[in-house]
Amino acid sequence: MLTRSLSFISIAASIAFPGTHAFSPSRGHAGRASSSLYMKPKGCAAKPLEKKKIAVFGAGGYLGATVFGFLQRAASLYGTGISAGSSPRAISATNGGAEALNKVLVSRFRLAYAGEDLMRIVDTSDINHIKDRLNGFDGCILGTTYQLEQRSVSLNTYEKNPNDKTFELYLDERYGVWEKNVPSDDADIHTSIFRNSVQACKEAGISHLLVVETPRTVRPMDFVKILEEEGVAYTYMRTMSALKKDKEHFEKGITNKLEVVRLPAGSSLASFDAQSSENEPAVYREDFAALIVQSLMTLDWGESRILEVSSSPGSTISSGYGGKMRKGLRFDRDWCPNSELMADVLSAL
């Protein structure tokens, strides 16, 4: 009887309001109804009770830290399919990564914080060392060419003597990094770190890799070939214009409905040409970070793909944050305001 009554209400609503559609909670906008046509997600949000644990390599970089912050918020909301507790996990080479991560979380995510339980320090030259710190996890976010900083190996981790040095990894960039005595962006160490990370993920049983092509990447095909050779399911994301940073909090949400083009896995990619893209509108790092997190919720983890991302001209969006905000406007139920727009873009691919 109850089923018939609900069916009747649904039919009556469609008659009374022609041209409308039934609303379902947007998995990317957990807990709220999306104002756009709802499409069922195929990623981790497809089965929200089977929560996925996600690790972020280079989380001390600004883009990595912003991704981490969005993951923390998404993990606190039902419907995203992202696990809380020991996830997300920040992967760095020294304690410097943890310090850099928390500086971003405190300033951009309303005093958010990542404790030691969410941090793991790895020896990037040792596949087994990386693997042991990924056991039990489901997905990983990796960078291609990280910003490197030479630092002392943190005590009581993997140092062989008190004077051991290593390179800290920053996904994208960290302001004020001392870049003296670091390899060039086209040095072999970048592909070595990447291959070791991918192999460790594979051996740890990671289901899906999300790889971010950073602005420092000289030869993107080197990294795509490694992914193809290792045979892991992956999403490779790259921007087709320069990245820039906003200075607001997460409440500002998505500021541009990005354009995303899907290419087949293994497609040939040319190096990013900063000069030829000078006239293209830049992509905000915060929007790109939100797209990265949303893709985990929306896209099928069993498939591999390459995504090219650019800013959408004339698609400026506002969450209402800042200045004289509307009374009653709240953001505690959003992992990122307007994220359902990203879900729509990805669902259409």
Closest by CA position to 60, among listed 109, 111, 97: 97
Predicted confidence at residue 321, as pLDDT, reads 65
- Which helix (H) or strand (E) covers residue 148, if one does? strand 147-152
Predicted confidence at residue 323, as pLDDT, reads 56
Predicted confidence at residue 22, as pLDDT, reads 27
Locate tokens 């359902």: which residue? Answer: 340
Predicted confidence at residue 328, as pLDDT, reads 67
**When comparing pLDDT for 9 and 67, which is higher?**
67
The yes-or-no verdict on residue 337 having pLDDT over 60 is yes
Mean pLDDT value of segment 231-245: 95
- Crossing angle, helix 62-75 and helix 95-108, to 10 degrees? 60
* Burial annotation 86-97 (CB, 10 A radius, 16+ → b, else e): ebbbbbbbbbbb
The yes-or-no verdict on residue 334 having pLDDT over 70 is yes
The yes-or-no verdict on residue 259 having pLDDT over 60 is yes
Predicted confidence at residue 6, as pLDDT, reads 37
Greatest alpha-carbon span in the chain: 76
Predicted confidence at residue 20, as pLDDT, reads 30
Report how far Cα 229 is from the mean position of its chain's Cα atoms.
23
* Burial annotation 314-339 (CB, 10 A radius, 16+ → b, else e): eeeeebebeeeeeeeeebeebbbbbb
pLDDT tens for residues 69-124? 999 999 999 999 999 989 999 999 999 999 999 999 999 998 899 999 999 999 99
Percentage of residues of the chain with pLDDT beyond 70: 87
pLDDT tens for residues 299-314? 999 999 999 999 988 7
**When comparing pLDDT for 160 and 274, which is higher?**
160
The Cα 272–Cα 259 span in angstroms is 17
pLDDT tens for residues 147-172? 999 999 999 999 989 889 999 999 99
Locate tokens 């997190």: which residue? Answer: 293
The yes-or-no verdict on residue 13 having pLDDT over 70 is no
Supply the pTM of this predicted model: 0.88
Task: Indicate the length of the chain as a whole number.
Answer: 349
Among 56-60, 87-91, 246-250, whose mean pLDDT is lowest? Answer: 246-250
The yes-or-no verdict on residue 8 having pLDDT over 50 is no
Classify residue 242 by burial, with Cβ atoms within 10 Å: 0-12, 13-18, 19+: middle
Predicted confidence at residue 332, as pLDDT, reads 80
- Rounded to the nearest 5°, which phi and psi values hold at 83? -80, 145
The yes-or-no verdict on residue 1 having pLDDT over 70 is no
User: Is residue 296 within 8 Å of 43, Cβ to Cβ?
Assistant: yes
Predicted confidence at residue 69, as pLDDT, reads 97
Percentage of residues of the chain with pLDDT beyond 90: 71
Mean pLDDT value of segment 175-193: 93
Mean pLDDT value of segment 12-20: 34
Predicted confidence at residue 324, as pLDDT, reads 61
Among 9-13, 37-41, 141-145, 308-312, whose mean pLDDT is lowest? Answer: 9-13
